[in-house]
Structure 1
Amino acid sequence: MNFIGIANYKKMFRDDYFYKTLYNTAYLMLGIPIGLMLSFLLASALSRKIKGTTIFRTIYYIPVISSLAAISILWQWAYNGDFGLVNQVLAIFGIDGPNWLQNAATVKPAIIIMTVWKGLGYSMLLYLAAIQSVPKDYYEAAELDGASSIQKFKNITWPMVRPITFFLIVTNIIGGSQIFTEINIMTPNGGPKYSSATVVWYIWQKAFKNWQMGYASSMAVILAVIVFVVTALQFYMDRRSSYKID
């Protein structure tokens, strides 16, 4: 090995593919707020005393404990442009679906749908535990004061589940920045025009395909710094906007 100083970092900041993979990684994180909203709505629905909630909880949680590689292969088949299940369903409504994973315009939304579906059960379970742990006295007192459903959500439910939301945002951002398995299985070449390649996938390509260990390590360091800064900002913003219930 030869010490080359910061040459790898200079090369990295001139690498268009590095910026593209950063953009793709950030784009895929759009699924985080979508997943949190859906999981909160599901948790709110399943927290009600209706028949069949246990079955639905189990169904929603099955993808969480399933193999990520197996699920990626399953969704790769579902997104197939010729015989995939997604296009077969769309054909029922007279819609000619695209080849999802081979189209630069649809590959990232397709992966977002898959990742939201995969993590929905985990977030839902945490939200469900938080909602069910809210003391009923708070809601009863609010009803006596004439509070509406929106006011009860704003002043009771949301502040009580806020720590769970903060935890999920931080962990999902950290996990989203490391997305690799789905990309490597569903789009092993990084998608059309590198449209689905993420930072970790690109690091892996450079390290274990091109054997550019020094260059890959430099990108890993920058990725670690980005994750640290974003996480620190989340903690700072959470402290600034902390909500206390008297």
Structure 2
Amino acid sequence: MAEGKSKTGVVKKRASKREKKDWIAAYIFIAPVTLGLLVFYIWPFIQNIWFSFNEVSKFNVATFCGLANYQKVFRDGEVLKTFGNTLKYVVVTVPVGLFLSILIATLLNSKIKGTSIYRTLYFLPSVTMAAAVAMVWKWIYNEKMGILNSAIRALGGKGVGWLTDPKIALYSVMIVGLWMSVGYNMIILLAGMQGISKSYYEAAQIDGAGPIQLFFKVTIPLLTPTIFFVMITSIISGFQVFDVIYMMIGKTNPAYANTQTVVMLFYRQAFDYGYKGYAAAISILIFAVIMLVTVIQMIGQKKWVNYD
């Protein structure tokens, strides 16, 4: 590598031809991903911010309106209603899903036969298309011919409007969301558990720790970073829930207002009504809420780790 002196007398190392070729090759390899991020993520995000300060026609002609869209967002009762539905979905599904994921991961981390088969069965819903999942569960929940109501009637009960009763429709959809997400989170937690050194368990067992103490005193503390990752990703996906609810709950459904999430409202304002500027303001609000929750979690993680 060649060397040269700068005006300040500091010796600078010049890159050799081999290093320059390596740099060029590296930039060529990352160019497709970088361009993809710029074209499909960064530029649309910047454009969306600009649209949120404009009235946008169906032909994407923007007319600047300042903070009018954001003022409308905070005065719109429907926005508050959908945020309430979304928050309820997150508050229920995240802790329940985390508990089930840890439980299943712990069972699969033990020495049982057919572990690979169980992993596949639990993970399969996570890679199944949301449209297929929604259609299957929509038939399961069908009020007249669904499996659940058929079983209830066979036992002498009355059918339940799983997707039409405003009081329980959102909880019915939550079950589907949990069924789809638990397997993915389980795989991540299982990988974290298998990354814990056996020496910790052996040392604790020498000190007389039992299975329950090993779980709460060794597994959970050492699994904390993985748990936080799963929690953060689950909260983000919970605030962005859209496809399953959209396909299971139609607009004419009496439970639509009680199950509509904030992302569904964004979609309806942008593509059904054509209010793209207002929809952009709603999406920026969603982004701000997710960022705020993520920052709070990151601060909580640091305090937890320092405390332990």
Q: Same fold (TM over 0.5)?
A: yes
For the pair shown, which has the larger CA radius of gyration, 1 or 2?
2
Match of 1:59 among 97, 110, 121: 121
1:118 partnered with 2:171: no
Instruction: Please tell me whether the aligned partners of residues 184 and 190 of structure 1 are also in contact (alpha carbons under 8 angstroms).
Output: no
Per-residue deviation, 1:91: 3.1
CA distance in 1, matches of 2:120, 2:112: 15
Summarize deviations over 1:120-169 as a string: whole Å, max 9, x none. Answer: 11111111122222222111111111123332222210012111110111
Per-residue deviation, 1:244: 8.2
Instruction: Please tell me whether the aligned partners of residues 63 and 117 of structure 1 are also in contact (alpha carbons under 8 angstroms).
Output: yes
Q: Residue 125 of structure 2: SS of its match in structure 1?
A: helix
CA distance in 1, matches of 2:79, 2:150: 36
Instruction: Please tell me whether the aligned partners of residues 28 and 111 of structure 1 are also in contact (alpha carbons under 8 angstroms).
Output: no
Taking the TM superposition and a 5 Å limit, the aligned residue runs for 1:1-246 are 1-29=62-90, 30-189=92-251, 191=253, 192=255, 194-242=257-305
CA distance in 2, matches of 1:187, 1:200: 14
CA distance in 2, matches of 1:203, 1:144: 57
CA distance in 1, matches of 2:194, 2:88: 33
CA distance in 1, matches of 2:136, 2:85: 22
Summarize deviations over 1:34-82 as a string: whole Å, max 9, x none. Answer: 1111111111111111212221111111111111111011111111111
Q: Residue 259 of structure 2: SS of its match in structure 1?
A: coil
Describe the shift of the 1:95–1:164 C-alpha distance in structure 2 as closer, same or farther (beyond 3 A).
Answer: farther
TM-score (ref. length: structure 2) = 0.76
CA distance in 2, matches of 1:185, 1:95: 28
Q: Residue 200 of structure 1: SS of its match in structure 2?
A: helix
Describe the shift of the 1:173–1:17 C-alpha distance in structure 2 as closer, same or farther (beyond 3 A).
Answer: same
**14-23 or 137-146: bigger deviation:** 137-146
Summarize deviations over 1:167-217 as a string: whole Å, max 9, x none. Answer: 111111111111111121001318525000001100010010000111111
Describe the shift of the 1:204–1:190 C-alpha distance in structure 2 as closer, same or farther (beyond 3 A).
Answer: farther
**183-192 or 35-44: bigger deviation:** 183-192
Query: Aligned Cα RMSD in Å?
Result: 1.6
Per-residue deviation, 1:234: 0.5
Counterpart code for 1:81: E
How many residue pairs match? The answer is 245
Query: Where does structure 2 lack aligned partners over 5 or more consecutive residues?
Result: 1-61
TM-score (ref. length: structure 1) = 0.94
Counterpart code for 1:220: S
Q: Residue 196 of structure 2: SS of its match in structure 1?
A: coil
Query: Where does structure 1 lack aligned partners over 5 or more consecutive residues?
Result: none
Structure 1 match to 2:46: none
